[in-house]
Structure 1
Amino acid sequence: MASQQLAAQAQTQSEAQAQAQAPERLQGKDHFILGIGAGYTPTYQGSDAYRAVPVPVFDIAWGPVFANLRNGVGINVIESGPVTVGASVTYMPGYRRRDVPEGIGKLSLGAGGRGFASIRAGGLIATVGATKGFIGDNKGVIADATVSYPVRVSSRLTLIPTIGTTWADRRYNHRYFGVDADQAFASGLPRYRAGGGFKDASALLSLNYRLTDHIGLGASAGVTTLFGEVADSPLVEHKTRPSGFLSAAYRF
């Protein structure tokens, strides 16, 4: 499954396609976009190693119901002018056993309940959200905030610069970045308990090119920097890591 960074990149591109790909006769609040993407990302946050990851691209909206990679599956409970407030069930990222130092073990994927709100004003799109895990190895809380500014370069090309940050509670950070006594014994790493707080900041530049009335091509590049207590984790080999993403999607 995609990392948080790849999920944000995939969703940014599909949102750009939903807004800008189709001509006026196809525009509308409801849309159905499906595609495939490929990301190049660290094997886990802070890792020195990279891997290529296939990522589904989907953005479905039908009335108040939606499904997308960033927010999962849910419903918009408030849609009033530029303001949208919603609730959903979405995934919680993990990592594979072979991607982390020997003795740490895997962190299985999970699911969480999410609430979010977004507002559009002056061309800016600001979104805040929080997810509480209830299935899987990590049942902590992680919150995110992003601001993006889509720019129509031409009738076919849209650029979307985005900045964002995430905060996580102690339970989330320790499960993802911490090293308990058993893991320390098995891996040789020192014990470490990560506390809660802001854990990273990111910058992203995405583009979407409308190849036809229905087909859109996307590309993005971003960089994420860890800070706070998670940056001092013995699992973190590099605090700042770039990532990239390419996609092709079809709007029905």
Structure 2
Amino acid sequence: MKKTITLCFLLLTQSLLSNSAIAQEDKTPLVPLPSVDDFTKGENGWAFGLGLGVEYEAAYEGSDEYGFEVDPAGAVQWRSGDNIFYWAGEALGWRGLRDNRWLVDVAIGFDEGREESDSDDGHLDGLGDGEEGMELVMQLRHTFDDNWRYWVDGRIVVTENGNLGLLGMGKRFGEKNDGSGHEIALAVVYHDSDYANKDFGIDADQAAASGLPETNLSGGFRSVGLNYNYRHYLNDNWQIFGEAVYEQYLGDIKDSPIARNDYEAEIGLGVIYVF
């Protein structure tokens, strides 16, 4: 599976790069969206952003336990014209702008999986640790104007433990086109049965160990979600960013004993220094 994902990534990026001009006018940023970080300042070559983010989030998918978590933020990026290759956390990817209206993003990431110890209240006791695995994320976003005020997008996540799809639309606020300002997006999310059971299913062995009823979920609608992004430049080097996410579960996810809430919410704030 890992070799297949890597091969798909290399073939896709090679094909797209071969059809685009490398030398183009410098642009800051690649697209003016707060949700898409770009530390290159419109210049070709290497760029680095490093910082910290503090999130208040659920302990695991469907949890009613919430707490604070501090994570590193930022990325290493290399820009060539309308293409940026990046390494951000556990993801290695490429994004490119085509005809000023299409943003393509492909990344290989790592899913750490859920751990039984994620629940301090013992709600996951007997369920064991979730499987880790690689994932391939492909996203296509289209704007209806050159300023990226309104856009639609589609995203596919292919993993070793199931697949997920997303359809969304968004609007950008703010007067500047430098990537700062506010952005809000609405999305509907689908998943197959493997992905649904990865987080919310309970097999026979888990049921016997945990005392929870055996649960086998089908694919289909997973949730509807609302996402808010904010980015502000304090000066040429320092950025403040924020994000708030709300996801309302749909379908039989709500019937899973693991889903102690029928929603999930998250809010985060952080700061990044751009070198």
Indicate whether the TM-score tops 0.5.
yes
How far is 1:55 from its partner?
Answer: 2.6
Q: Does 1:195 align with 2:218?
A: yes
Q: Corresponding residue for 1:74? A: 93
Partner deviation per Cα, 1:53-86 (whole Å, 9 max, x = no partner):
2233234352334226599323347733211334
Q: Does 1:84 align with 2:103?
A: yes
Percent of pairs identical after alignment? 20
Out of 130, 142, 149, the position equivalent to 2:156 is 130
Partner deviation per Cα, 1:204-224 (whole Å, 9 max, x = no partner):
222222111121111222211
Report the CA distance shift for 1:50/1:108 in structure 2 as closer, same or farther (over 3 A).
farther
Q: Distance in 2 between matches of 1:69 and 1:163?
A: 24
Q: Distance in 1 between matches of 2:89 and 2:142?
A: 16
Normalised by the size of structure 2, how large is the TM-score?
Answer: 0.73
Report the CA distance shift for 1:207/1:84 in structure 2 as closer, same or farther (over 3 A).
closer
Report the CA distance shift for 1:145/1:109 in structure 2 as closer, same or farther (over 3 A).
farther
Report the CA distance shift for 1:84/1:215 in structure 2 as closer, same or farther (over 3 A).
same
Q: Corresponding residue for 2:183? A: 160
How far is 1:18 from its partner?
Answer: 3.3
Which has the higher mean CA deviation after the structures are superposed, 78-87 or 203-212? 78-87
Q: Distance in 2 between matches of 1:214 and 1:221?
A: 24
Unaligned runs of 5+ in 2: 1-32
Report the CA distance shift for 1:216/1:78 in structure 2 as closer, same or farther (over 3 A).
closer
Partner deviation per Cα, 1:160-203 (whole Å, 9 max, x = no partner):
11222321111111121101111111111111101111211111
Q: Contact 1:41–1:244 (CA<8 Å) still a contact in 2?
A: yes
Out of 170, 189, 192, the position equivalent to 2:193 is 170
Q: Does 1:144 align with 2:166?
A: yes
Q: Corresponding residue for 2:63? A: 47
Letter in 2 for 1:132: V
Q: Corresponding residue for 2:79? A: 62
Partner deviation per Cα, 1:89-127 (whole Å, 9 max, x = no partner):
123352121124211111143211222211122312322
Q: Distance in 1 between matches of 2:221 and 2:44?
A: 34
Letter in 2 for 1:124: Y
Q: Contact 2:87–2:93 (CA<8 Å) still a contact in 1?
A: no
Q: Corresponding residue for 1:118? A: 141
How far is 1:248 from its partner?
Answer: 0.5
Unaligned runs of 5+ in 1: 1-11
**Structure with the greater relative contact order (CA < 8 A, sep ≥ 6): 1 or 2?**
1
Q: Distance in 1 between matches of 2:186 and 2:55?
A: 19
Secondary structure of the 2:38 match is helix
Q: Corresponding residue for 2:38? A: 18
Report the CA distance shift for 1:83/1:172 in structure 2 as closer, same or farther (over 3 A).
same
Secondary structure of the 1:149 match is strand
Q: Distance in 2 between matches of 1:112 and 1:233?
A: 24
Secondary structure of the 2:156 match is strand
Q: Contact 1:200–1:227 (CA<8 Å) still a contact in 2?
A: yes
Letter in 2 for 1:185: A
Letter in 2 for 1:58: G
How far is 1:240 from its partner?
Answer: 1.8
Q: Contact 2:34–2:182 (CA<8 Å) still a contact in 1?
A: no
Letter in 1 for 2:173: V
Secondary structure of the 1:248 match is strand
Q: Corresponding residue for 1:226? A: 249
Out of 197, 208, 212, the position equivalent to 2:235 is 212
Q: Contact 1:42–1:48 (CA<8 Å) still a contact in 2?
A: yes
How far is 1:39 from its partner?
Answer: 1.1
Q: Corresponding residue for 1:181? A: 204
Q: Corresponding residue for 1:240? A: 263
Normalised by the size of structure 1, how large is the TM-score?
Answer: 0.79
Q: Contact 1:43–1:95 (CA<8 Å) still a contact in 2?
A: no
Q: Corresponding residue for 2:3? A: none
Alignment RMSD, CA only?
2.8
